[in-house]
A and B are shown apart, each in its own frame.
Chain A
Amino acid sequence: MKYLQIMFILILLLWTTGCDDFLLIEEVDTIIVFGLDTSDKEGAFTFFEASPVFSETADKKYNIKKAVAHSAREARNILNAQATGHTVGGKIQLVILGKNLLKEKNIYPHLDVLFRDPKNEINARMLVVDGDVDQFLGADMKDKGRIGIVIPDIMRTTHRVGGTVDTLLLDYHRQMMDKRVTPSMSEMTKMEDELIVTGTALLNREGLYAQSINRRESSLLLMLQRQTNNPLSLDFRLPEDFVKAENERTEMSINIDNINYETQVNCDQENFELMIDMDIKGDITQKLFYFDMENRKQDFEKQLDKQLAEDFEKLIAKFQQDELDPAGFGRYAKAYCYPQWKKIKNDWPKDFAKSKVTIRPHIEIRDYGVQY
């Protein structure tokens, strides 16, 4: 009997708690895209939230809401007033930031709400939009699909072929905290209703937008970041006199799929000196001209090395001009020259601007095809 009594009490207790954070998947407003842009109001931002619409009677498959507010939480209250269900942030796929906003403000403290709740998704991709976020989100998606899936898909695909970096919300957090790098994230724009990745946006130490690099430069950046997990396609245009082209075709492309790095660091000089040797293994995927590969393969490789080295030099000069270190050269500085690093650690990007970084690529072409 006692056993039964205890069972009865337990069963009653079972129903007292629980049901607390209960929700129904189809009734909540699941935010897929979270956006931030400038607003006309002083000190306020425009917040965007895109969530899927499951109802069959609705024409559009997603719903974009916007609100002008001083903080994300305040915006959430305004947006909740428009939402059909309780708004949840556990499935955010994309965080969109307006370029104009990034030029004015460091956005990192305003994303606090995304990092705070453990249920929130930190694997969301970071995106800078060249132009108006409102217009960007308003692109015609009829021939594409759900906005929260299509844009991350475009970004992922572009990253796979080396067109841009792949920065998750967590990466952004780390890049902001890490004194050895400066943040970088994908950049997109809207071109006549088509969404296109233009390259990579680089942020400075203060979290403000500094400059953009194009897709080819992004490939080089990925090579410097050692993030070339997939075959990375690089296009070259060789000098006409080298190719001795009968017509004007001098383009060629290679697929890089393996790079070995060797680093030499010199801490003794006044400024930090770094030399990276890259042993690059690649295959020719396109070559629009004749070249005697069988006999002059080494000349060919040397020519590519030379051009690639020049490209790296230009890119690093570009970084240094704006005191940016998206490739994370600061890691070498900290690892190899710790005593010096301790003095400059809070000001690394400035010091980097004065450093000397040399990249020496050594391309080895393994497969040049049967023709030519």
Chain B
Amino acid sequence: MSLLHFFKKQLQSLSTKHHQDSSMQSLSHDLTANFKHIQSLFSYAPDFTYKSFMSKSGSHCMLLFLDNLVDQEKLNNQILKPLQYDINQVNKDAIPFDRIEEKNKISDLENALLTGNSVLLEEGQTNALIFSTQNFPLRSISEPKTESTLKGSQQGFIESIGKNIALIRRYLPNRQLMIKSYSVGKRAPTQVALIFLHDVANPEIIAEVEDRIQQIQVDSIINTGELIEYIEDHPSSVFPQILQTERPDAVASHLLQGRFAILVDHSPYSLVAPMTFFNFFSVIDDYSNRWMTTTFFRFLRYWGFFIATSLPAFYIATLTFSYEILPVDLLFSIGESRIQVPFHPLIEALIMEVSSVTINIASARLTAPVGQTVGIVGGVILGQAAVQAGIVSNIMVIVIAITTLSTFIIPNTDVSSSVQIIRFPMMIIASLFGFTGISIGYMIIAALIINMESFGVSFGNPVSPIHLHEWKDLMIRFPNWKIHERPVSADTVQAQRDGNSRQSGDQ
């Protein structure tokens, strides 16, 4: 522990040193001196560009910016052209540009330049003008890749926090939609936005999140996934407690239910919390499909969770302890197939399971055409060859195939990865204790889920603690007009969601 403290101190001293280096000085009256000073800060920045010119009023001006981070057209038409030909004073109110700030600290100017603003220095002035001329390289809005949908919107978040907020606001043009902005990271500050509905979300939860975000001490946040690790309640749990989504409609829907969302600049994912275990089994499409279809799908998903966690374990337990549960014909066919396999069922299952997970991971990183080939070679040919070579039994191949498919029926990728991990201890415990072991495994999983809390809300909600009226949206999804309350699991201050939309009888 003392070693850790030592490193912490070292780090702190390093960072303070860095801060002392950067200039806290103000601008002087001398334009050349000011320019020299700023240029020295950007000595190893080939994209640092400046334009020296005489304004119409006759004073010497310099416009500084980082090439490619700024919009050249705006720069020319809205700043340079008016200053040189149209207006007589160089001040904030005269220049026809929408966002101008006035700053005199060198460090502020430095930050402004680094984030894509341009800085105008004038001879004899101690204040510089900062123009918001950012124009980052950005991709256009496209379909969400990991959460494709049949009926929902085809817009996904992109790498700009401003655009992402705009996407959410399109769904919720409401005054109560609050966005609190923070800057996280010392070396490369990243903008983090906390979004919630002010009159719905619980202020205590919001205060808690705010506190957690402000406590983060880090160089930089590159991705939302990194932010999760700093703010989640149980970092050592297998289960995700915060939803990562790239769908603005999903975020809007969760905001309406009383949850909050966090956007991180540069990241096309949004965080949504507080989530419960069962929330991860519903997707936004559920509410656009007919409720019976959705109910059926939800049952399949929970069933998929069950299969994906324990089907190989069942196989092992059956073959090593409880052969009696097999129908006699199946016993014969398994026996015939197993007799050629020299390994214990656990080893057999591990061989296939590890290869199957390998194929998953491999094909996830490959481009579509190659990925398909890998899938076919891996799944079909490998399985068939393994059976013929007598490494695994053909029932095992079926078991693994069903297990892998069931893993992907779970809509959330984080949960399905967790399930892939849970499967292995389940297999081991089944090989040691048979069905007793599987039951113990499930009890442990249940205990883990019940024991967890996410932002003060029980993770097992609404099953543990039981909130029966919320079961309307658990396995059976009631028609939307039947669900009047916001989920208890979101711990909202405003519980009512809607009125009676379908009144019976004539009006």
Contacts and interface: CB of A to CB of B under 8 A. Distances in A.
Contacts of A91: 323-324, 326, 328, 331
A148 B336 CA distance: 16
Interface stretch (B108-116, B211-219, B337-345): B337-345
B85 to A, nearest CB: 72
Interface in B340-363: 340, 344-345
A217 to B, nearest CB: 31
Interface in A1-35: 14-15, 17-19, 21-26, 28, 30, 32
B471 to A, nearest CB: 35
Contacts of A17: 432-433
Contact of A54 (B328, B339, B344, B345): B339
A119 interface: yes
Interface in B463-493: none
Contacts of A24: 319-320, 338, 344-345
A199 B335 CA distance: 34
B93 interface: no
Contacts of B331: 25, 30, 52, 91
A56 interface: yes
Nearest to B325: A90
Contact of A18 (B319, B329, B344, B432): B432
Contacts of B433: 17-18
A135 to B, nearest CB: 24
B77 to A, nearest CB: 64
A25 B320 CA distance: 6
B321 A121 contact: no
A26 B335 contact: yes
A25 B333 CA distance: 11
A252 interface: no
Interface in B309-331: 318-321, 323-324, 326, 328-329, 331
B75 interface: no
B339 A23 contact: no
B231 to A, nearest CB: 22
A247 interface: no
Contact of B339 (A14, A15, A26, A32): A26
A52 B333 CA distance: 11
A30 B429 CA distance: 25
Contacts of A26: 334-335, 338-339
B171 interface: no
B230 interface: no
B442 interface: no
B299 interface: no
A139 B297 CA distance: 52
A14 B444 CA distance: 14
Of the candidates A18, A21, A25, the one having the most CB atoms from chain B within 10 angstroms of its own CB is A25
A81 interface: no
Interface in A23-57: 23-26, 28, 30, 32, 52, 54-56
B324 A21 contact: no
A149 interface: yes
A14 B321 contact: no
A74 B344 CA distance: 31
Nearest to A148: B328
B324 A90 contact: yes
B332 interface: yes
Contact of B323 (A18, A19, A28, A93): A28
B339 A149 contact: no
A54 B323 contact: no
B319 A32 contact: no
A119 B322 CA distance: 9
B328 A23 contact: no
A90 B323 contact: yes
Nearest to B320: A22
Contacts of B328: 32, 91, 93, 148-149
A88 interface: yes
A66 interface: no
Given A15-B432, A19-B432, A52 B321 contact: no
Contacts of B336: 54
Interface in B418-446: 429, 432-433, 437
A174 B154 CA distance: 66
A65 interface: no
B253 to A, nearest CB: 39
B335 A52 contact: yes
A286 to B, nearest CB: 34
Nearest to B334: A25
Given A52-B332, A93-B328, A149-B328, A30 B340 contact: no
A23 to B, nearest CB: 6
A325 B490 CA distance: 68
B315 to A, nearest CB: 10
A173 interface: no
Of the candidates A19, A30, A119, the one having the most CB atoms from chain B within 10 angstroms of its own CB is A30
A119 B334 contact: no
Contact of B338 (A25, A32, A146): A25
A15 B328 CA distance: 32
Contacts of A54: 332, 335-336, 338-339
A7 to B, nearest CB: 11
Nearest to B338: A26
Nearest to B327: A91
Contact of A55 (B321, B326, B329, B339): B339
A56 B336 CA distance: 8
A153 to B, nearest CB: 10
B340 A146 contact: no
Interface string A83-117: 00000101101000000000000000000000000
A208 B328 CA distance: 31
A17 B429 CA distance: 11
Of the candidates A19, A26, A30, A121, the one having the most CB atoms from chain B within 10 angstroms of its own CB is A26
A15 B437 CA distance: 12
A23 B332 contact: no
A74 to B, nearest CB: 24
Given A32-B328, A148-B328, A149-B329, A22 B321 contact: yes
A92 to B, nearest CB: 10
Contacts of A32: 328
A284 to B, nearest CB: 37
Contacts of B432: 14-15, 17-19
Contact of A88 (B323, B326, B334, B340): B323
Of the candidates B332, B338, B432, the one having the most CB atoms from chain A within 10 angstroms of its own CB is B332
Contacts of A88: 323
Contacts of A15: 432
B16 to A, nearest CB: 32
A39 B222 CA distance: 84
A121 to B, nearest CB: 7
Given A25-B335, A26-B335, A30-B331, 8 more contacts: A14-B429, A18-B432, A25-B323, A25-B338, A26-B338, A32-B328, A56-B339, A93-B328
Top 4 nearest A-B pairs (CB, nearest first) are A18-B432, A90-B324, A54-B339, A26-B338
19 contacts: A14-B432, A15-B432, A17-B433, A19-B432, A21-B321, A22-B320, A23-B320, A23-B321, A23-B323, A24-B345, A25-B320, A25-B334, A26-B335, A54-B335, A54-B338, A54-B339, A91-B323, A91-B328, A93-B328
Interface of B: 318-321, 323-324, 326, 328-329, 331-332, 334-336, 338-340, 344-345, 429, 432-433, 437
